[in-house]
Amino acid sequence: MKITLKKMGMDFITENVSDVGNYRVRAEFTDKDGIEVVADFGRYDRMEVYQKKNGKTGCRIAQKNALHVDGTYRDEEGTGRDYAYRIRENGFDFTKYDFTISGILAFLSDVTGENYTEIEFCN
């Protein structure tokens, strides 16, 4: 199944950032619960806190090029809500997705119950 993503950001200058080719892409979809969502996908380096040998804590990159989801939906009263917060509160694990075509397809397939296999990009 194909989904269309709109390029909302700048195209990558180098090829080695991600195969997505743009810093921010947008999709509209309906999730498994029937919620209509508009989501922007981007990238970030997910950090984690760790214990140093001297007993102090530090931060290090746990996942390079992690998938960032900035999605909104409307609740019963029509108020815009944060979709990523909603599914995270229900135990959704974002750490298994990265900002690649396959990562975005996997995320969309998991939250919608559809089998997305292809992305079409538009401007």
pLDDT at 17 exceeding the cut of 80: no
Q: What is the mean pLDDT of residues 99-116?
A: 97
How many domains is the chain built from?
1
Q: What is the mean pLDDT of residues 63-85?
A: 94
Look up the pTM and report it. Answer: 0.89
DSSP helix/strand/coil, 91: coil
DSSP helix/strand/coil, 34: coil
What is the predicted pLDDT for the residue at 11?
86
- Structural domain of residue 37, as residue ranges? 2-122
What is the predicted pLDDT for the residue at 12?
84
Instruction: Report pLDDT digits (tens) over 39-54.
Output: 999 999 999 999 988 9
CA distance 94 to 83: 12
What is the predicted pLDDT for the residue at 44?
92
Residue 21 banded pLDDT, cuts 50, 70, 90? confident
Nearest to 31 by CA among 110, 121, 120: 110
Rg (CA), the chain: 16
Residue type, 29: F
